[in-house]
Amino acid sequence: MAPLIAAANLSKKYGSHVALDNVNLTIEAGRIVGLIGPNGAGKTSALRAMLGLTTYEGRLSVLGREPFRERTALMKEACFIADVAVLPSWLRVDQAVDYVAGVHPRFRRDHAMNFLSKAQIGGKRRMHELSKGMKTQVHLALTMAIDAKLLVLDEPTLGLDILARRSFYDALVNDYMDETRTIVITTHQVEEVENLLTDAIFIAKGRIVLDSSLEAIAQRFCAVSVAADRLESARALKPFYERYILGKTVLYFEDRERTQLADFGELHTPSIADLFVAKLSGDAS
Amino acid sequence: MNNYVWLIRREIWERRAIWLVPAVMSAVLILLALFGRTQFISDVPMESPYVGKVYLGFIAGLFLVIMMLYSTLYLLDCLYDDRRDRSILFWKSLPISDTDTVISKLLVGLIAIPLVSFVAADVTSVIVAFIVSLRARSMVGGALWNAGTWLQMQGLWMYVIVTCAIWYLPVAGWCLMVSAWVKRAPMLWSVLPLLVIYLIERFFLGTHYLASVVGYRLGGYTQAAFHGSLHTDDVTATVWQFIDVGGFFGNYATWLGLAVGGAMIIAAIQMRMRRTEI
């Protein structure tokens, strides 16, 4: 089966600034992919290109379509929340539901109404009367009620309190996600989505730093806490990053046999957040 | 088609001024009729159809002028506003093409806003005529209730809405282009480039091409769509005698404007596809 998203030599320039630099990536159907990178890394440019919101150089196919030329057709099968709370301030909640129900063939009104009543948001209220968190809830209610093959979320829970964030991710996994759907998600709170991701893509300065499934990450990467006296011999195995913490040095290795490393100390698989820091700082030094 | 129903409904939800402005004007005129002077036309015979014409023409003209101003402001703002508040990211997440979006705004600016004004002018005219007839007893059954004059007014409105939409298409297209493109101050940018070209032309080339083209487009409507002058002392003259359908559609400037306006609208759609945020 053809991949759901395929990019080949994807580039995007704003004047002399290169936001995406010959990016190659594929995303298969049924995955939950985290697109992780610092601010200005090109995350948003990549998402905007995939959603047909911007022109680009190179080849890009999403759900078998060319996003910029075929945005309208694409949006019947893909939906997105770009950043937070961009619902217009004058719009009433019931108008928003009516409008999306009117123009979107895959919108399921009862799903949206359920979500809204659970969040206790009344239909007659205008967006400017709602808190940022409630506005995001409305947007989520609208988007999750669309029976889409691809859902793109750009910082979906920014501005939500921890309870609302947790219930959002629970709903995403339990009610929304199944093997026919694919989710691409960017967030600063990597820890929060780590448990639901199947794949992680690290992006920095417009380039892909890492593109891997979580299982493969667990196999490829290993962190070892090394006591000071063993440090020099451990360094001989070429860790790509070192971190000094609580009197011990943690060394990060890529593609090294665990048996080789076991002598030096306690082994563990780095978290996505740690790996991200390690990978970005390591490659820069 | 279904999409257009929702797109236009969306505009009416957002722009409450589409009906609020005519409603306020209507209320003001009704208050004036209730408490103001009724003998506003004293130097013509009361039974003259001229009274009805002046009266209906005054109300229609007032609505028409305000409508044109509002429509221009609307067209300048409509593709800029949702980029500024970033709600464009929500609208673009729905399966509606940029072509449909831009055309829907054009239809609201050139057809919906004028139609609302037309209905408001009609309703206001009936109510005010009724009030004035009751207050100024001499007019009861007289000039204000001339069926022929009323019918002429309906025809005139329809003719004006259709011909204005055609004649001012390049103006609307220009407004949409500016609205789809600029990062700030669409009103300023709608004038500034024209002013710069005008000044360059004037001081470096000594010509006035742009000024005459723009001036003709903005000020030449009545000349293009009507015979002679609308102001006449001939009380028997009807609207049908002034309407110049053949002249309007036989004028190359009408068709040239349509082509230029169409090209500008296509450009505005292309800009809308590319400019997502400010």
Average pLDDT (B5-16) is 95
A91: nearest Cα among B90, B75, B80, B180: B90
In one-letter notation, the amino acid at residue B135 is R
- The alpha-carbon gap from B130 to the nearest alpha carbon of chain A, in Å, equals 38
Cβ pairs A/B, distance under 8 A: 72
Contact (CB, 8 A) for A225 and A248: yes
Q: Do B14 and A88 touch (CB under 8 A)?
A: yes
- C-beta atoms surrounding A66 within 10 Å: 14
Structural tokens at position B175:
């407004």
- The alpha-carbon gap from B235 to the nearest alpha carbon of chain A, in Å, equals 50
Q: Which pLDDT band, with edges at 50, 70 and 90, does B235 fall under?
A: low
Q: What pLDDT score does B100 carry?
A: 96
Q: Do B274 and A55 touch (CB under 8 A)?
A: yes
Q: What pLDDT score does A285 carry?
A: 46
Three-state secondary structure readout of B136-171: CHHHCCCHHHCHHHHHHHHHHHHHHHHHHHHHCHHH
**Which of A73, A89, A104 minimises the CB distance to B94?**
A104
Per-residue pLDDT for B123 more than 80?
A: yes
Average pLDDT (A11-31) is 91
Q: For residue A92, which residues of chain B lie inside 8 Å, CB to CB?
A: 13
- The alpha-carbon gap from A257 to the nearest alpha carbon of chain B, in Å, equals 46
Q: A55 — contact with chain B (CB < 8 Å)?
A: yes
How far apart are alpha carbons B43 and B55 in whole angstroms?
Answer: 14
Torsion angles phi and psi, residue B95, rounded to 5: -75, 65
- The alpha-carbon gap from A62 to the nearest alpha carbon of chain B, in Å, equals 15
- The alpha-carbon gap from B91 to the nearest alpha carbon of chain A, in Å, equals 9
Element (H, E) at A59: strand A57-62
Q: For residue B10, which residues of chain A lie inside 8 Å, CB to CB?
A: 99
How far apart are alpha carbons A38 and A186 in whole angstroms?
Answer: 10
Domain ranges of chain B: 2-274
Q: Do A79 and B93 touch (CB under 8 A)?
A: yes
Q: Is A159 left (phi over 0), alpha (psi -120 to 50) or beta?
A: left
B53 Cβ contact partners less than 8 Å away, ≥ 6 residues apart: B149, B152
Greatest alpha-carbon pair distance for chain B in Å reads 65
Q: What radius of gyration do chain B's Cα atoms show?
A: 21
**Which of B10, B86, B94 minimises the CB distance to A86?**
B86
Report the DSSP beta bridge partners of residue B182.
none
Q: Which pLDDT band, with edges at 50, 70 and 90, does B238 fall under?
A: confident
Per-residue pLDDT for B178 more than 70?
A: yes
pTM of the predicted model as reported, rounded to 2 decimal places: 0.90
Structural tokens at position A118:
């659970």
- The alpha-carbon gap from B111 to the nearest alpha carbon of chain A, in Å, equals 22
A237 burial level (CB within 10 Å; 0-12, 13-18, 19+) = middle
More confident residue, A6 or A265: A6
Name residue, tokens 């000094």.
Answer: A244
Q: Do B9 and A99 touch (CB under 8 A)?
A: yes
Residue of A nearest to B87 (CA): A86
Q: A176 — contact with chain B (CB < 8 Å)?
A: no
Q: Do A82 and B6 touch (CB under 8 A)?
A: no
Least confident stretch, A240-249, B20-29, B192-201, B210-219:
A240-249
Q: Do B3 and A143 touch (CB under 8 A)?
A: no
**Which of A55, A75, A87 minimises the CB distance to B94?**
A75
Q: For residue B9, which residues of chain A lie inside 8 Å, CB to CB?
A: 99, 102
Q: Do A71 and B97 touch (CB under 8 A)?
A: yes
Q: What is the percentage of chain B residues whose pLDDT exceeds 90? A: 60
A49 burial level (CB within 10 Å; 0-12, 13-18, 19+) = buried
Structural tokens at position B154:
């309906």
Name residue, tokens 């409603």.
Answer: B23
**Helix ranges restricted to H, A51-103:** 71-74, 93-103
Residue of B nearest to A87 (CA): B87
How far apart are alpha carbons A195 and B44 in whole angstroms?
Answer: 87
Handedness of CA A12, A18, A20, A23 (dihedral sign): positive
- C-beta atoms surrounding A39 within 10 Å: 7
Q: Do A71 and B85 touch (CB under 8 A)?
A: no
How far apart are alpha carbons B9 and B15 in whole angstroms?
Answer: 10
Element (H, E) at A92: none
- The alpha-carbon gap from B132 to the nearest alpha carbon of chain A, in Å, equals 39
Name residue, tokens 């196999």.
Answer: A219
In one-letter notation, the amino acid at residue A205 is K
Per-residue pLDDT for A94 more than 90?
A: yes
* SS3 of residue A106 by DSSP: coil
B49 Cβ contact partners less than 8 Å away, ≥ 6 residues apart: B143, B146, B148, B149, B235, B236
Contact (CB, 8 A) for A54 and A66: no
Q: Which pLDDT band, with edges at 50, 70 and 90, does A6 fall under?
A: very high
How far apart are alpha carbons B213 and A266 in whole angstroms?
Answer: 82
Q: What is the percentage of chain B residues whose pLDDT exceeds 70? A: 88
Q: For residue A99, which residues of chain B lie inside 8 Å, CB to CB?
A: 6, 9-10
How far apart are alpha carbons B58 and B244 in whole angstroms?
Answer: 21
Q: Which of residues 229-268 of A touch B (CB under 8 A)?
A: none
More confident residue, A179 or B192: B192
B65: nearest Cα among B11, B113, B9: B113
Q: A100 — contact with chain B (CB < 8 Å)?
A: yes
More confident residue, B257 or B49: B257
Greatest alpha-carbon pair distance for chain A in Å reads 69
Residue count of chain A: 285
Name residue, tokens 């968190």.
Answer: A133
Q: Do A83 and B92 touch (CB under 8 A)?
A: no
**Helix ranges restricted to H, B85-208:** 88-91, 98-107, 113-135, 147-167, 169-181, 186-200
Q: Do A83 and B86 touch (CB under 8 A)?
A: yes
Contact (CB, 8 A) for A43 and A116: no
Q: For residue B95, which residues of chain A lie inside 8 Å, CB to CB?
A: 72-76, 103-105
Contact (CB, 8 A) for A122 and A92: no
How far apart are alpha carbons B37 and B25 in whole angstroms?
Answer: 18
Q: For residue B2, which residues of chain A lie inside 8 Å, CB to CB?
A: 102-103
Handedness of CA B213, B217, B222, B224 (dihedral sign): positive
B52: nearest Cα among B148, B131, B127, B117: B148
- Looking at every residue in chain A, the average pLDDT score rounds to 87
Helix-helix angle B17-35:B2-14, to 10 degrees = 50
* SS3 of residue B92 by DSSP: coil
Report the DSSP beta bridge partners of residue A13.
A18
Name residue, tokens 């199944």.
Answer: A178
Within 13 Å, how many C-alpha atoms sit on residue B8's CB side? Answer: 15
Contact (CB, 8 A) for A136 and A160: yes
Least confident stretch, A160-169, B104-113, B135-144:
B135-144
Q: A13 — contact with chain B (CB < 8 Å)?
A: no
Q: What pLDDT score does B207 carry?
A: 85
